[in-house]
Amino acid sequence: ERSPIIAPSILASDFSRLGEEVRAIEGAADWVHVDVMDNHFVPNLTLGLPIVQSLRKATTIPFDVHLMITDPERWAPGYAEAGAYNVTFHAEACENPVALAKALRAAGAKAGLAIDRDTPVEPYLELLPYLDTVLIMTIKAGFGGQAFMPEMLAKVRDVRRRIAVGGLEVRVEVDGGIAADTIEQAAEAGADAFVAGTAVYGAADPAEAVRKLRALAAA
Ligand code: DX5
Ligand code: ZN
């Protein structure tokens, strides 16, 4: 198993100081998780491409862009072109996930597929060879600060098992309610990338919170 990726979500940060907030976790975290919401796919609105382009110049940490938007075919490649390391779009919003994953890879990014709370993972297991990341929501997508749903870990196990059987190199990422008291069970189920918003940016020392989460995930 590869070493864990810790990806703080800037959704829980102070948006008026975005550059500083990202730099605060730069040396401690692996990726920064950027939640793009369009007030359509989810009932919440955050930020889009112009802010990602500006932020890209303010830090060296890889961007893990989580697109909670309708019509990802239209917008996702732009984030790859803006320098995102990994671009994840939602299965529920996409007609042809394989085509979009290929387009993202062609644009120079890793390709991720997100599975929301009410979506089963089985229909997507055959797509794993085309993906670099599978993001399993451990809440309903749309808002930070929700309670972790342990029943979602069955999906993590299913994906991890299929990756192992296929001998594939795909990250299994969990997003929602990840904190010191939930990260170990997610790691045990087979997750190897962990998004944490409130648990990092709600802490007095965000970089120290990242180090604590990493130690728990690696244990
Ligand atoms: C919610 C976002 C998450 C959010 C997680 O839809 O996808 O990335 O920031 O926040 P916490 O860690 O507070 O649950
Ligand atoms: Zn997210």
Distance 204 CA to ligand 1 centre (A): 18
Between CA 5 and CA 32 the distance in angstroms is 10
Distance 18 CA to ligand 1 centre (A): 16
Between CA 175 and CA 101 the distance in angstroms is 20
Which ligand 1 atom sits closest to the C-alpha of 196?
12
User: Which residues crowd ion ligand 2, with CB under 5 Å?
Assistant: 35, 66, 175
27 is in an annotated binding site: no
Backbone angles phi and psi of 25, in degrees to 5: -115, 5
Q: Is 175 an active-site residue? A: yes
Half-sphere exposure of 185 (CA within 13 A, CB side): 15
Between CA 5 and CA 29 the distance in angstroms is 8
CA angle 69, 10, 109 (to 5 degrees): 60
Name the active-site residue from 64, 116, 132, 175.
175
Q: Is 35 an active-site residue? A: yes
33 is in an annotated binding site: yes
ipTM value: 0.99
For the chain, which domains are there?
5-218 (3.20.20.70)
- Per-residue model confidence as pLDDT tens for the chain (219 residues): 589 999 999 999 999 999 999 999 999 999 999 999 999 999 999 999 999 999 999 999 999 999 999 999 999 999 999 999 999 999 999 999 999 999 999 999 999 999 999 999 999 999 999 999 999 999 999 999 999 999 999 999 999 999 999 999 999 999 999 999 999 999 999 999 999 999 999 999 999 999 999 999 998
Name the active-site residue from 35, 38, 64, 158.
35
Single pTM value for the model = 0.98
Among all bound ligands, the one having the nearest atom to the CA of 149 is: 1
